[in-house]
Amino acid sequence: MAGADSDDSLYPIAVLIDELRNEDVQLRLNSIKKLSTIALALGVERTRTELLPFLTDTIYDEDEVLLALAEQLGNFTMLVGGPEYVHCLLPPLESLATVEETVVRDKAVESLRKISHEHSPVDLEVHFEPLVKRLASGDWFTSRTSACGLFSVCYPRVSSTVKAEIRQHFRTLCSDDTPMVRRAAASKLGEFAKVLELEYVKSDIISLFTALASDEQDSVRLLAVEAGVSIATLLPQEDLEALVMPTLRQAAEDKSWRVRYMVADKFSDLQKAVGPEITKNDLVPAFQNLLKDCEAEVRAAAANKVKEFCENLPEDSRETIIMTHILPCVKELVSDTNQHVKSALASVIMGLSTILGKDNTIEHLLPLFLAQLKDECPEVRLNIISNLDCVNEVIGIRQLSQSLLPAIVELAEDAKWRVRLAIIEYMPLLAGQLGVEFFDEKLNSLCMAWLVDHVYAIREAATCNLMKLVEKFGAEWAQNTIVPKVLGMANDPNYLHRMTTLFCINALSEVCGQEITTKHMLPVVFKMSNDQVANVRFNVAKSLQKIGPVLDSNCLQTEVKPVLEKLASDQDMDVKYFAQEAISGRIKKMKRNRK
């Protein structure tokens, strides 16, 4: 360290070395996160000749430190002298791409992919592609899995000879003895196919896809499904039936539910890729089978795709296919034994109404909606209510109201407070659909009941809900229906309910305007300044500050100020504090008004 003391320029690297060798992992992590600062201090040449070799030689640290290092190096191009020297970053990243911890390897690969674009075509062949080869032929599976993510970024910019070598390496990894490597290859097969010339997609990729899709490991087969969808988008229509569909048909009937789940999950993408004819002939029966699958996870994934699948059907035969093939399966799912399946269906089923039109909706879909509204599972009922606007556009909400209301009441009183919260948040939209008369008659009392819920989050949401309802129905409606009920709570024996009155006044003052606030709400706030509970009194001070901008200057000076001054001399410290805060806030407002 003596040398470091005598030469200031050596100090940063000395600090780094000291901290990287420190027993405290946090210190080592901090030093890695400061690498860019240290590199700037050293300059580009010393960063290349001293810092990077040091980092390459010391990659044996905690995963957290290595992860930070892998991320930092991806942004280091300019710190080593720009694209001309970017290849200097490859040795440490190559080492990081071989470590045992997956997240570190993935981050190293991400950084390698990033800096690959900064290599010239020559440097790509001289420096980057040999790195990929070394990783691809490494003894440990960790390096071979990392290689899979690098083929596609260098392939487009290398010579045809090197391209042939890259294709051969990828082929080899697709048949690797280790399942983890085959998984990595399968996960990158679609991406690799996109950068290949079409002739090689047909000659190389299809055979790899077929092999991976029939791998003994289902974790490999399910990743091949995703690749199959990507490959389908690359091929001409006439090649799809012969080259891709037999394998995908096989996947849709795979013995492993996880593979069938992946087919269901990617079904809409597959449908768009293969076009209308294959959809009619192949995908419709396959989709029916997935909707009837023996495994609930698969049925749920397929149910999630019902609306999207139906939307993308050929227009000339859409209604016939839905009514004949899809709707019978949907009817069965409405009474499925698994609540996740029913919930998934409920989140999309309403969308079918816009596809099928008014008559079909009333005759065929409405009974299904009503059945789900009465379902024992709250999430199913909520998903239906949350998508009512789709049906409203087609048939009008009145036809649903008789069955809708009991479901809303049940959700509003559900034992799970999160379910109650969800229905509160949906209430303004629901109110807008139902109209003010229906709302006042059926739902107003529910909204008021939420204000005295035993869970604070519900009371808070109910307050916000009132404000949104006033925005929808107007201040006059509020004055006649909401405000009297809210102000009546000021006399409630429970101090929490009295405080809710203040929270409501805070929210309503802005949307109700100056006249209603001054005439009806303000006197109640003043009266509550004498409340026996200190929490109520200091919330009075906060409320007066909150509603101050709505009031005129004369009212602030002659009515609000005396109340705040009285509270500022309260025996309770919190009341004093918030009253003084309100006074200073009021003074600032008055000064702004004078300007």
Are 88 and 48 in contact, with CB atoms under 8 Å apart?
yes
Q: Where are the domains of the chain?
A: 280-412, 474-595
DSSP assignment string, 260-273: HHHHHHTHHHHHHH
Mean pLDDT of the chain: 88
Write out pLDDT tens, residues 24-76. Answer: 778 778 878 878 888 888 889 988 888 888 888 766 677 888 898 899 899 88
User: Cα–chain-centroid distance for residue 438?
Assistant: 35
Q: According to the model, what pLDDT value does residue 260 have?
A: 97
E strand residue ranges, 411-555: none
pLDDT recorded at residue 375: 83
User: According to CATH, what is the number of the domain 280-412?
Assistant: 1.25.10.10
| Mean pLDDT on 533-540 | 95
Using the structure block, give the residue that is written with the tokens 């008369």. 437
pLDDT at 6: 41
Report whether pLDDT(589) > 60: no
- When the candidates are 3.30.230.10, 1.25.10.10, 1.20.950.20, 1.20.1600.10, the CATH number that belongs to 474-595 is 1.25.10.10
Average pLDDT on 536-548 reads 93
pLDDT at 390: 79
Global pTM? 0.73
Q: What does the alpha-carbon distance between residue 483 and residue 476 come to, in Å, rounded to a whole number?
A: 10
How high is the pLDDT of residue 2? 38
Instruction: Give per-residue pLDDT as tens, 245-293.
Output: 999 999 999 999 999 999 999 999 999 999 888 999 899 999 999 999 9
pLDDT for 359 beyond 90: no
- Give pLDDT tens digits for 434-468: 788 888 888 888 899 999 999 999 999 999 999 99
Please list, residue by residue across 36-68, b when 16 or more beta carbons sit within 10 angstroms of its beta carbon and e when fewer do: eebbebbebebbbeebbeebbebbebeebbbbb
Confidence of residue 591 (pLDDT cuts 50, 70, 90): very low
* Model pLDDT, residue 3: 42
**How far apart are alpha carbons 411 and 117 in whole angstroms?**
54
Q: With bands split at pLDDT 50, 70 and 90, how would you rate the model's confidence at 590?
A: very low
> Given a cut of 70, is residue 587 above it in pLDDT?
no
Share of the chain above pLDDT 90, in %: 62
Closest among 113, 307, 79, 285 to 192, alpha carbons compared: 113
Longest dimension (CA), the chain: 90
**Do 280-412 and 474-595 show the same overall fold?**
yes
With cut-offs at 50, 70 and 90, classify the pLDDT of residue 137.
very high
Q: pLDDT digit string (tens) for 496-525?
A: 999 999 999 999 998 999 999 999 999 999
> Angle, to 10 degrees, between the axis of helix 160-174 and the axis of helix 141-148?
130
pLDDT tops 90 at residue 413: no
Instruction: Flag whether pLDDT at 404 surpasses 90.
Output: no
What is the pLDDT at residue 8? 53
Q: Is 374 exposed, middle or buried (0-12, 13-18, 19+ CB in 10 A)?
A: middle
Per-residue pLDDT tens for 471-493? 999 999 999 999 999 999 999 99
Helices 206-213 and 160-174 cross at an angle (nearest 10°) of 10
